[in-house]
Chain A
Amino acid sequence: MSTEIVIFTVLFLLVSGMGFVAARWRRANDLASLHEWGLGGRSFGSWITWFLVGGDLYTAYTFVAVPALLFGAGATGFFAVPYTVVVYPLVFLVMIRLWSVSHVHGLVTPADFVRARFGSPTLALLVALTGIVATMPYIALQLVGIEAVLKTMGVKGDLPLIIAFAILAAYTYQSGLRAPALIAFVKDSLIYVVILVAVIYIPSRLGGWSAIFDAAQAKFDATPAPGDGVLLNANNQLQYVTLALGSALALFLYPHSVTGVLASKNRDVIKRNMSALPAYSLLLGLIALLGYMAIAAGVKPIGTDVNTVVPQLFDTMFPDWFAGVAFAAVGIGALVPAAIMSIAAANLFTRNIYREYIRPDATDAQEASVSKIASLVVKVGAVLCILLIDPQFSIDLQLIGGVIILQTLPSVALGLFGRWFHRAGLVAGWVAGMGSGLLMLYNIANPATKHEHFGGSAFPLEKLGLDTKMTIYAGFLALAVNLVVAVLGTWLARAVKMAEGPDATRPEDYVADRDDPRVQDLEVAGSS
């Protein structure tokens, strides 16, 4: 066995051991309740929240896919940087309101909130289903990250991937949200070390930053594709901006981001994190540039899988033992978000489908055990996705995921600020946004991957009859359709005097902080 594989395996097993021990960390009194298992008791301070949310948002897939985008298309792939700059100021005032209202009313998921705010089980069900469907391919993609690393190390067959996910499933089952929170420390430290070394050492071997960018420029000049290059052109600037903004709007609608935020101790912890989390964006920006380093180093992806360029770059540039550390960082980096995502998806199922429709009288212990099993099912589903279907299909699904999760924005994010919308209008808007979004994605072809449909998220405006070559992020346009229909639907519903759903929340619930007697930290699930 090569040095790389030995180091990868040792680090991976070490971290897995931590996952099992995590159940005892910060003395969980009773892991049998959903709050404890699924939200870690909701008592995480600034540091843990930083690692948890950071580990959750900046996933292994990001680390592999963003540089792959720059490797393939250039500047357009750098959208990840403005996206992760814009997102924190954007949600700064939104997330604290969600934290407050959730803690006053014992809400665990975005769908719980919609249920309480608009009194509509239908709307809550739509939000829950959207969340589950959008999260599943995201988990599957984490496996793509591990797979890229395994491929580079020359590991053949599916068994290692299955083992890795079995370990993940076992410790999430055992320790709940505490496991990823604890492991995130190790993962992030490893990734920081690897990236710092990479951005100092690799450019020095390649003749400096100028040489790297010149090599990238030369590569894009030589290709016939019109959209690539180290700068944006007149036709893809709108796409760049709307994709960055649209992705930023979508990020905190994902159930797993909400889980991380709700687990924090008070509102100040959230605010402080909104200013500390961009440290990861810097890391992401540097990682993105690895794509250009790969070009300059003459790295070739394995087969047609461009996701292997970063692992291949590490393999070429680093001594074996350090490449092993780097691969372990990516592999472990996949486990943290996968764990949080599966917990969040499981919470959605338990709270908004099982308790709402299957067993309204479920006890706390029943809820927690259903959630644990649901999280296992979600992970098995993700593994099957990767093994049985072309990985490219997961990437397409993830693209769709971003577009569809955006359609919950009017109910969840705007719902936090007011109750102007009528529940019927919101349902109509969701249907319209979802329909138009999927229709647009269906009509986007990608000649590079030979896909006629679902080939990307850049929708050409000429398909709408406009005389232009400009493209726009499909999710952004779908959200606009959603909002217009929601407004019209609300007017119509009020005009025909359709019943308004009861609002279980009051204005002061949205600003309550930890010292407020109504904020109940460890109240048991099921009593909201």
Chain B
Amino acid sequence: MAAPRSDRSPWNWLLLLPIVVPLVPALFNSLEPRLFGIPLFYWLQLAFILLGVATTTVVYRMTRSGR
């Protein structure tokens, strides 16, 4: 008999990272340092997209059912 299916996994905690980090303006509310002339405020928030993609991808691969 297989164990009952569950969504619980320690990997899920990783999802908190891309939820909390983009909501802390202290991290990005600044002009400097610039990247290609773009202020930190804009490029760092765009970079948070990569953080979101990376963490959700890891959690998906570690918890998918078809493994």
Residue positions of A touching B, CB distance < 8 A:
75, 78, 81-82, 85-86, 88-90, 92-93, 96-97, 208-213, 230-232, 237, 240-241, 244-245, 266-268, 271-272, 274-276, 278-279, 281-282, 285-286, 289, 508, 511-513
Contact = CB atoms under 8 A, between A and B. Distances in A.
A82 B23 contact: yes
| Chain A interface, >50% SS class | helix
Given A237-B29, A271-B60, A82 B45 contact: yes
Contact of A240 (B18, B25, B46, B51): B25
A39 B33 CA distance: 47
Contacts of B48: 81-82, 85
A281 B45 CA distance: 11
Nearest 7 pairs of A and B residues by beta carbon: A210-B37, A275-B56, A209-B37, A82-B22, A89-B15, A275-B57, A271-B60
Given A82-B22, A97-B7, A210-B37, A89 B45 contact: no
A67 to B, nearest CB: 13
A212 B5 CA distance: 53
Contacts of A272: 60, 64
Nearest to B46: A285
Interface in B2-43: 4-7, 12, 15-19, 22-25, 29-31, 34, 36-39, 41-42
A241 B5 contact: no
Given A90-B15, A208-B36, A209-B38, 17 more contacts: A78-B45, A81-B22, A81-B48, A85-B18, A88-B52, A89-B18, A89-B19, A96-B7, A209-B36, A212-B37, A213-B37, A213-B38, A266-B65, A268-B60, A272-B64, A275-B53, A275-B57
Contacts of A85: 18, 22, 45, 48-49, 51-52
17 contacts: A78-B41, A81-B46, A89-B55, A213-B37, A213-B38, A231-B39, A232-B25, A237-B25, A245-B23, A271-B59, A271-B64, A272-B60, A282-B46, A282-B49, A285-B45, A286-B46, A511-B6
